[in-house]
Structure 1
Amino acid sequence: MSCTTLFEQVLDPDNRANPYPLFAELRRQPVCRQEDGTYVVSTHAEIARLISDPRISSEDLPDPQKFRWTGHPITDLFVRPIRAEIRRRHQPFIFRDPPDHDRLRGLVMRAFSPERVRRMREETTDLTNELIEKFAGKARIDLVDDFSYPLPVTVICKLLGVPPEDEPQFQGWATQLATALEPNQRADAETQAKNEQCFTEISEFLRDLIAKKRDEPQDDILTDLANGSDSGDADTERMNDFDLVATAVLLLVAGHETTVNLITNSVLTLLRFPEHWQRLRDDSAIAPRLIEEMLRYEPPVQYRTRLAIADIPIAGVTIPKDAPVVLLLASGNRDPNRFADPDRFDPDRSDNRHLGFGGGLHYCVGAPLARIEAEVALVALAKRLNNPRLVEDPPPYRPGASLRGPRHLCLSFDGIAAG
């Protein structure tokens, strides 16, 4: 089978439940040119090399009019109102290259401090148990709607410093804007209009909230980013208002959507392998290893798109300058040249350097928080759900191929144990 048609099949929603056999076929040719001039990279060694290569740009994104499945529609929402000649400077920082990327990411990482993230464990535990308590008296739930979606949006709202009364509105915005994160999904006119309206609303809200954080500083990420430091170097130590809004939206939407998929994919996988669900129920200390294997085995982000800004010889092929590049992270995670028995779910792997959080300069900013949320959620669900079963397997999936996860995951169970 030609590799030029395999990636089209990966994008086909009919293959969303199990794209992994297609990845295995793609790995026969590590770097494969598609008919439209895109290069799909599917093996671990080549992905790991390119993900840190300065000749691969996150800022100069492929033209979505020419390459229908590339680009990031969410960036359109940020730059659409801005004059073309200054658009590049107004993309969110995860879609920018050094030096702007490094400066902005540094400010985010400083506000997203390890101590602040660690403090969220207790709050995440409380939120998790509150959501599980709502299962009392029920025999069936939709894990996505009833648990996986509301948990991470509440956590990120607390970190950002969003008032509790506004959290329900934020969940609605996050759900709508998630449609603009999928590289291969061009929105129809109605969805685009809803995204633009949603983006306008959340931007206006955040600008008002940022102003309040400057007048009345609090212990949260927005306060830190809005007020900067006392070094006196405003250009390096404080974000402008545009970057503040862009960062807040991305922390909300990108971090929320991927954590939803991580939690949901984890429960789905563990219920397919009930011996590991029982292990977690009996011994919560295995949770970190289990989550690392989950990030390899069923990563919430399956691929990312980049653009070559120079000719790049690799694996016997030269990716030419200006060619779009797909880094197929999920395929690299199942590469038998890197992982023994890669299609087996094995939390006891001794060496698990997966690509679940990407790599290089754009390694996931929220990885420590996502690990905490997933660990707290999975331990609590394993200990408190009595005899959970999948109602439908495979479950229905969202249409997107990049941010891959079930749209619903219906579970039946025999009540909940005390927290």
Structure 2
Amino acid sequence: MTQASILRQITDYANRANPYPLYEELRKTPVLHEEEGGPYLISSYWDILSLLHDPRISSDATNLAAAGTDETGSAEETGLPPSFIRLDPPEHDRLRRIANRPFGPPHTPHRVDSMRDELAEIVSGLLDDLGDAGQIDVVDQFAYPFPVTVICRLLGVPREDEPRFRSWVDPIVAGLDPDTGNDTAERRRAAQEARLQLGMYLAQLAEQRSKEPREDMLSQLVTGHGEDGSMTMMEVLSTAVLLLIAGHETTVNLITNGMLTLLRHPAVLDRLRNDAGLAVNIVEELLRYEPPVQLVPQRTCIADIEVRGVTIPKGSRIWLVLAAGNRDPERFQDPDRFDPDREDIEHLGFGSGIHSCFGAPLARLEAQLALSALARRLDNPRLLEDPPPYRHNAVLRGPRHLNLGIDGLRP
């Protein structure tokens, strides 16, 4: 293995099942710049954490375009403005505060926790639907439909439209993959077209909600007004696209990575089966050990920045390799060991700083309920394939299928 090949190997699907040896190699050069015009890869925990809070690091899509990155979502190409995760302050802060009003503190402090019983009912129904099956695919039959159902209810999108919007979500997510191979232009074009189509679909729903508001987030985004004013309709649509996609894609990976990890650690699975309260620590350790978002490739320096004696010039692209930082031995003792009893699990699984994961409270609760229910109700679950087939995406890493044999369902 050579340093010059690490970036290519990280994005190579052949290494998707176990990228962690690559991350270990990457940490030997915490600030790695492989080729002229290429990104700077940052892999140590403390450096990543610092840069996530550094105002000299921009998330603005226009800065990325100026740095030479192929973009998948500029307003000119899709008709929609960038979502707030692709903006810098002050616009980022204004839009995020407006989006947060119907979702969490201080204006709606109990929104997520009040959904606990409803989430548990969805989980129970999905498991009941498995019937007497002796084999299941955790992804298709549980880990995907659960968060999709939740975000549809929360946002106000008809659940029966899932096959329709999934045909748009898949290419948008594929467009986030920083694959250094071929088909970049085609993936970009498909992502742009899909984002436009999804925006048009959501525009119809938003128009309905403007006339007949309901108790859902889309209605509140359309009609809401507070100290930060209101969103324009185009801002509502870009925010709704973001929430619909982010509201389920990463949670699918978190639940699936979690079940795979538990099956590889049967003693922990047994403990969870007998103590549902352990799910809180398990989910936090999973976010460190197998984070659903492995790296953040969409950042640009808007000033010269020095990291560990290396000057990263203004205009350079930076990749923050969260999964490498989460297993940094400078930060975590015995980092390659899955240990839900860790007393200190301050992971990077949800990022940090102003762009920390908007939906983290909901994702945590969904994963806790999902994994504790799977542990309790699946009788003698066992992997039929290890490693399982993975999704292509290097950013949103998780199994595409997780096929298990089971002896049935417990009540």
| TM-score bucket of the superposed structures, by smaller chain | over 0.9
Partner of 1:42: 43
Structure 1 stretches lacking a partner, 5+ long: none
Partner of 1:178: 173
Q: For 1:262 and 1:11, how far apart are their aligned partners in 2?
A: 20
Shift of 1:8: 1.6
Shift of 1:167: 4.2
Alignment partner of 1:199 is 2:199 = no
What SS does structure 1 have at the residue aligned with 2:263?
Answer: helix
Shift of 1:119: 2.1
Q: For 1:413 and 1:370, how far apart are their aligned partners in 2?
A: 26
Cα contact 1:117–1:368 (8 A) shared by 2: yes
Shift of 1:216: 1.5
Identical-residue share of aligned pairs (%): 49
Alignment partner of 1:108 is 2:91 = no
Partner of 2:370: 377
Cα contact 2:58–2:302 (8 A) shared by 1: yes
Shift of 1:4: 3.0
Question: Residue type of the partner of 1:210?
Answer: A
Alignment partner of 1:345 is 2:338 = yes
Q: 1:65 to 1:325 in 2, by over 3 A?
A: closer
Q: 1:331 to 1:188 in 2, by over 3 A?
A: closer
Partner of 1:25: 25
Q: For 2:248 and 2:159, how far apart are their aligned partners in 1?
A: 17
Question: Residue type of the partner of 2:327?
Answer: R
Q: For 2:305 and 2:131, how far apart are their aligned partners in 1?
A: 57
Question: Residue type of the partner of 2:221?
Answer: L
Cα contact 2:65–2:71 (8 A) shared by 1: no
Alignment partner of 1:80 is 2:77 = yes
What SS does structure 1 have at the residue aligned with 2:343?
Answer: coil
Q: For 1:313 and 1:301, how far apart are their aligned partners in 2?
A: 25
Alignment partner of 1:293 is 2:285 = yes
Partner of 2:86: 95
Partner of 1:415: 408
Q: What aligned pairs does 1:230-241 form with structure 2 within 5 A after superposition?
A: 231=226, 236-241=228-233
Q: 1:237 to 1:183 in 2, by over 3 A?
A: farther
Q: 1:14 to 1:168 in 2, by over 3 A?
A: closer
Shift of 1:72: 5.1
Q: For 2:19 and 2:159, how far apart are their aligned partners in 1?
A: 39
Alignment partner of 1:146 is 2:147 = no
Structure 2 stretches lacking a partner, 5+ long: none
Cα contact 1:180–1:187 (8 A) shared by 2: no
Q: For 1:187 and 1:79, how far apart are their aligned partners in 2?
A: 22
Q: For 2:304 and 2:404, how far apart are their aligned partners in 1?
A: 50
What SS does structure 2 have at the residue aligned with 1:326?
Answer: strand
Partner of 1:136: 131
The worse-fitting range, judged by mean Cα deviation, of 125-134 and 101-110 is 125-134
Cα contact 1:310–1:320 (8 A) shared by 2: yes
Cα contact 2:78–2:192 (8 A) shared by 1: no
Q: For 2:194 and 2:6, how far apart are their aligned partners in 1?
A: 35
What SS does structure 1 have at the residue aligned with 2:389?
Answer: coil
| Residues 337-359 of structure 1 deviation map (CA, whole Å, 9 limit, x = unaligned) | 10000000000111111000011
Shift of 1:184: 3.2
Q: For 2:398 and 2:76, how far apart are their aligned partners in 1?
A: 28
Partner of 1:268: 260
Q: For 2:64 and 2:77, how far apart are their aligned partners in 1?
A: 16
Q: 1:278 to 1:120 in 2, by over 3 A?
A: same
Shift of 1:203: 1.8
Structure 1 ranges of 4+ moved more than 6 A: none
Question: Residue type of the partner of 1:341?
Answer: D
| Residues 253-286 of structure 1 deviation map (CA, whole Å, 9 limit, x = unaligned) | 1231111100000000000001111111010011
Partner of 1:277: 269
What SS does structure 1 have at the residue aligned with 2:113?
Answer: helix
Q: For 1:20 and 1:218, how far apart are their aligned partners in 2?
A: 46
Q: For 2:236 and 2:252, how far apart are their aligned partners in 1?
A: 24
Shift of 1:45: 0.7
Q: For 2:184 and 2:356, how far apart are their aligned partners in 1?
A: 31
Counterpart selection for 2:120 from 117, 125, 144: 125
Partner of 1:244: 236
Q: For 1:391 and 1:119, how far apart are their aligned partners in 2?
A: 37
What SS does structure 2 have at the residue aligned with 1:401?
Answer: coil
Shift of 1:303: 0.5
Partner of 2:55: 54
Counterpart selection for 1:219 from 215, 224, 239: 215
What SS does structure 1 have at the residue aligned with 2:404?
Answer: strand
What SS does structure 1 have at the residue aligned with 2:318?
Answer: strand
| Residues 307-353 of structure 1 deviation map (CA, whole Å, 9 limit, x = unaligned) | 11100011110111111000000000000010000000000111111
Q: For 2:388 and 2:290, how far apart are their aligned partners in 1?
A: 14
Cα contact 1:39–1:323 (8 A) shared by 2: yes
Shift of 1:162: 1.8
